[in-house]
Structure 1
Amino acid sequence: MRILVADDDGAILELLSIALEVLGFDSVTLARDGAEALDIVRSSKAEFDCFLLDIQMPRMDGIELCASIRARPEYRSTPIVMLTAMSDRKYIERSLAAGATDYVTKPFEIMDLKARLNSATQAYKLAQEGRAMTERLHALADDLVHRNGVELGDTFDIEDVPGYLNFDKFKGLVKDFGECGMRHAEFVVLQISDVASIYNACGPAGYFNFICDISDAISEVVTQDGFLFSYVGNGAFVVFDPRSRQGIDMSDIGADVEATAATLGLVFSNGSPIPIRLQQSDAFGFKDMSMRSREDLTRLSTVHSANSGADPFVVQAV
């Protein structure tokens, strides 16, 4: 387990270095203040597995350093133990709010430090096991995609994306709307432009991952307004407001998703960027939705784009 210790007191650093070695931790990096510690974090090629941070330090205190570490995606769950003098305990609440997982009071007892680090070790092992399990699951998913072959028109089950419904659940919800009289819901379709070319360039497995990434971008944009969405195949998503509110502006969803997706840095296997452009239909209501097949939905925004100013819902149900 790689540990980074930050403290502006040289005697404390030396003591901690010796104590950690005695406790069996031999991969310890020392920093003399918060700014130096953050520079080490940014420049290190290998990730740290635990942090011991003093609260009161010059240039950058431990609370600010803790928040900066937590802001990095690779350290969202890494154990961070704060080192605090008795007089600094008033800062513990702020430290925990910044993302700290535990604290040790100075002057510390070696067994107290050991107990805190044992907890950190358990968290480290669980994180390692979780990463290994995630890698195995991704490998299995990729293998399943390769063996079964994902077609351009397929719908997907996408796990752990807030606001996402698979198409069967989406259809069931629309049916429930009709049966309970909630018919004021509004829908828009987002269509990925030139999706066939993207599919051909990515291949089945790459395309599945691409749709998952776009789903993440849509989720980030629409869930803040309580919207839900579903992928209906052929590069088309349906976004809708399940709470039947009227007057909610949905006109900028496509542009906002494009901007969010652009920050993901999605690339083809050769390293060239994937062009992400979305066509968006006008908003339409429950009556129009209930009469449409999945094939209709994948054409709505395209029809609207090709016939500017015309009714985007002229496609007859298939």
Structure 2
Amino acid sequence: MNERANVMRLLAVDDDPIILELLDEIIRATSDHELLTASSAEEAIEVLGQHSGSLVDCFLLDIEMPGMNGIELCQALRATEEFRTTPVVMLTGRGEKEYIDCAFAAGANDYLTKPFEVSEINRRLEATRLRADQLTALSTSELLAEVPSEIGLFEPIKIFDVDNVVDYFSLENYLPSLPRQSLFGAVCLGIQVRRVQEIHEMVSGYNFLGLIEDVAETISDALRDYECLIAYAGNGTFVVVFDSKGMPKTSALTDQMNLMLQKKGTDAIFAAGRKIRLICGDFVRVMSNNSERVQDSLIRAQSSADKAATEREHNLDKFWFMGQVAQ
């Protein structure tokens, strides 16, 4: 982040000079942000090379451009260590679900369609700035710690290079970005690690991080045939967003994921022999593109998974207790 508080250095990439000029006018008139521009992905890469050492805090990317398109540029940025977590906002005329899905899967954090209102782009940039501040704080804390000896149970864990896994901030932005008909066809599913609090207390921060990464890969692999986005929400819980036209049966999905974890040997590697098991909650339908209602849907999916995990462990404890009494 720029040394001046609340100020970002932005790089806008668009082959339409009118859009770049409009963005420049908006940024100058409404903020102290610094704006760099490029008319193609290739030129953007050149600009980044010329400003190596001068951090870019946020990218604004058009999708349809000659040569490398914006989604491919986003993927290229995410493949670098320098811009692996830098916020990316897609600013495009394409509002179809297939483009939105591809953009978020490639690593975009937000999506805004043209034509846009000044107030809306300012709101998105402010949310992006706050997210950039959070990422900077996390990166700083990681640099200060030689090893992650402790990771909070509810701490956001960054997961890289797993298909269709995005950060939770991006998932919150994904749903309101969808066309209305797609949004009202979306459902959320919570998937939780059972007895996660006990496991968290037993293992090191390094092993807990490894466990969450292993679970992310397992969920991604189990859902490879479905159109979905996956995010880690903390507390050993993942949230998956599906199109209601293609959803798995939760009982079969649970069995498949647990079998995959068993084959991975996750129990022995990350939890000192304790069995790692996942459980699904109920599907929660998204009924509004209002940001607060979207967040409520995601939270209800997490709560459903937590409730399912608690009930499952209670029933197992009751089963074993009754068995001991019978003896």
Which TM-score applies when normalising by structure 1? 0.45
TM-score w.r.t. the length of structure 2 is: 0.44
* Higher relative contact order structure (alpha carbons within 8 Å, sequence separation ≥ 6): 2
Larger Rg: 1
